[in-house]
Every structure is written in C-alpha cells, then in structure tokens.
C-alpha cells in the first residue's frame, strides 16, 4: 500500500501561542525592561486578572508594580494619567472597554490633549487596554466597539490586534510610545492560539504602530478589517477561492493613525473594496476608510462602489440567535464580495 504523505513540519522556531499568553509575555517583558512601567486595574494583581492576562505578574513584581484598584474607573484612570505626567509609564486595564466610559473624561481631556495643550512640554506615556467589542451573551451594555469612539480623537493612538503576534508586538510598542495609546483587545480571541515565529517571541519584537499587514494576497477584491473579523475575512477568502475569487485581506492593526497607503495600494491592484467591522455602521471605521479612498487617487481605480459590512445599528441583544444576526458573519462577507463583484 502507498504510504500517506508526511505532514509538513512547522518552520523551525515556530510555536502555537494564545493571544492571552502573548499579552502576558509582553507585559512581563516590559515590566522587566523598564522599572517605570506598572500595571493597575480591577483584579489585575492577586486574582491574576479577570481574563488571566496578568497571570503571575503580581507574585513576580509585587504591590508597587502590579496594583489592584477599587471599582472606580474615573479614579484609577486619573491616578494613572497623573503618574504618566510625572514620568512613569502606566498600563491601565479596563475590565471591559465599556467601563472606560466612566473614565472617558480622563482618557480624552486629561491624557489625549495634554501634550498639545502644554506645547509639547508634558508627555503622557500611558496605555489603556482591555477587551473591546462584543463577547458572547453579555448584552448591550458590555458589547460596544470603541474603535470609532477613540479613533475620532486627536492626541490618541488606537491599536486593535487580531493575532498573538499583533497582540504582543502592539502592546510592547504601545508601552514604549511617549503618547497615550488605546489598545482594543477582543475577549473571544484571548484563548485562540496563533503561530508565532522565534523572532516574534523575542524580547526585542515590536509591531510598529500605524502599519497594516496584508494577511492574504489577492487580485479580485480588497477586504479590510481589524480585530476578530480579520479571521472571518480569511475564512470568507478561503471559501471564495474555491469559486475562483481571490481576496486580498488586510489586517489594519492600527485604527489611528490609519495606514491608508496600504489600503490604497491594494485597491489599485484589485479595483474593489469591502470593509468589515464589528462596530456600528454610522461614523464607523469602515465609513472612514471609504471616505479616505474616495478622497484619494485610488478612487479612480474602483470598478464598483465600496461596500461596508458592519454590526447592526441596534444595541446588542442578549439572545444568541439575535446576537449572531447583529454581528458580521462569514456568509455576510461572502455576500458583500459577490455584490461588489456583481457575481
């Protein structure tokens, strides 16, 4: 009998790492590298974090570097911003970004605007991080995507990772940045393993803020997304490839500053654009991408109107079947691609 074909071996140094472990690794390395870095938030210390992102860090670094706070976002965010102004480099965790609304005055008025209002004399090197967007069955008050909210504000940088490589590299870059950075993670990705190269697991690895990544090359249509929907786009691209449609999938990684050049170059090649996001449609990330493409030279290369795939324009329902219908699914992306290609 013929032998089964041998399975391809993973590349040397490549291993599977969950997004949770990648974030934990990044925090550990940055706490070790720079004594000015500290982590604060609800349950980040003795409980190892609500999502175990800070697992083991309190035992390793102690009370001064990993700090449990009361349930008072306005209070501990203000403390963190003041510490950043005084020369420390805080990582401020929100148990969910929905709770950042309690502290949005500190994030916008205190952190984002101070460098400008002080004519550059006061830097605010701080990272606001935590899970963003819809999880599963947590209803309307815990399911908003804040990419458009914070991406709207000058003075902030906003990053939105998808893979473990994104998560580690963007968190390390954010901690080292001298500006306030909002890092929008996704709870449903925390336990998902991704391949990470030996280079990505090194202590020197960072992902530059403001640079998108082409996750899949294609020639027929450009799919632009961020966070968890990047995975949906890749699934849709795999299905469409069987029908002869080659999608180019772009993982934005950064919401602000937005890497529109990478999107433009892709649109020039494919002549079609579909944006995909879990947030609401009005004034969303996809709306911004479409406007920027329309205003630039890539507009002349479009052979059809750009199409947006977004969350439904309603507060998130609790029931699972309604929740599924409120969030972009693979079938919705396939439908949008066929619509824009007129097939």
Give the residue numbers annotated as catalytic, written as ranges. 73, 142
Helix (H) or strand (E) holding 105: helix 104-105
Q: Is the CA virtual torsion 334, 335, 338, 340 positive or negative?
A: negative
Residue 312, C-beta contacts closer than 8 angstroms, at least 6 positions apart: 280, 325, 326, 327
Residue 98, C-beta contacts closer than 8 angstroms, at least 6 positions apart: 141, 142, 143, 144
Find the Cα–Cα–Cα–Cα dihedral 256, 309, 216, 187, rounded to 10°: 70
Peptide bond into 265 cis (omega under 30): no
Residues 223, 233: contact at Cβ < 8 Å? yes
Relative orientation angle of helices 19-33 and 164-176, to the nearest 10 degrees: 20
- Tally of CB atoms within 10 A around 323: 19
Residue 63, Cβ density class (10 Å: 0-12 exposed, 13-18 middle, ≥19 buried): exposed
| DSSP at 42 | T
Ramachandran class of 41: left when φ > 0, alpha when ψ lies in -120 to 50, beta otherwise? left
Helix, strand, or coil (residue 17):
strand
């Amino acid at each position: 009998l013929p032998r089964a074909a041998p399975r391809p071996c993973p590349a040397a140094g490549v291993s599977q790492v969950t997004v949770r472990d990648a974030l934990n690794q990044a925090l550990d390395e940055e706490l070790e590298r720079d004594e000015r870095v500290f982590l604060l938030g609800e349950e980040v210390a003795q409980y190892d974090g609500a999502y175990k992102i800070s697992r083991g860090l309190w035992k390793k670094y102690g009370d001064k570097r990993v700090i449990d706070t009361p349930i008072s976002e306005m209070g501990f965010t203000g403390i963190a911003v003041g510490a950043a102004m005084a020369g420390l480099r805080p990582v401020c965790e929100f148990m969910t970004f929905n709770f950042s609304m309690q502290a949005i005055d500190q994030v916008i008025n205190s952190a984002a605007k101070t460098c400008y209002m002080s004519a550059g004399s006061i830097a605010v090197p701080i990272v606001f991080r935590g899970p963003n967007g819809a999880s599963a069955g947590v209803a309307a008050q815990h399911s908003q995507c804040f990419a458009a909210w914070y991406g709207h504000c000058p003075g902030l940088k906003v990053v939105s990772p998808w893979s473990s490589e994104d998560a580690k590299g963007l968190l390390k870059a954010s901690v080292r940045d001298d500006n306030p950075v909002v890092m929008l993670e996704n709870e449903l990705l925390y336990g998902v393993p991704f391949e990470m190269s030996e280079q990505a697991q090194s202590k020197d690895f960072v992902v530059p803020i403001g640079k998108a990544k082409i996750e899949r090359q294609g020639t027929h249509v450009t799919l632009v997304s961020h966070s968890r929907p990047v995975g949906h786009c890749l699934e849709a691209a795999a299905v469409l490839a069987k029908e002869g449609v080659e999608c180019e999938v772009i993982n934005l990684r950064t919401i602000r500053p937005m890497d529109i050049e990478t999107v433009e170059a892709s649109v020039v090649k494919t002549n079609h654009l579909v944006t995909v996001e879990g947030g609401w449609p009005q004034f969303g990330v996809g709306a911004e991408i479409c406007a920027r493409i329309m205003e630039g030279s890539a507009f002349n290369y479009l052979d059809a109107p750009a199409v947006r795939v977004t969350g439904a324009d309603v507060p998130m329902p609790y029931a699972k079947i309604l929740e599924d219908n409120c969030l972009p699914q693979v079938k919705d992306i396939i439908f949008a691609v066929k619509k824009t290609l007129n097939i």
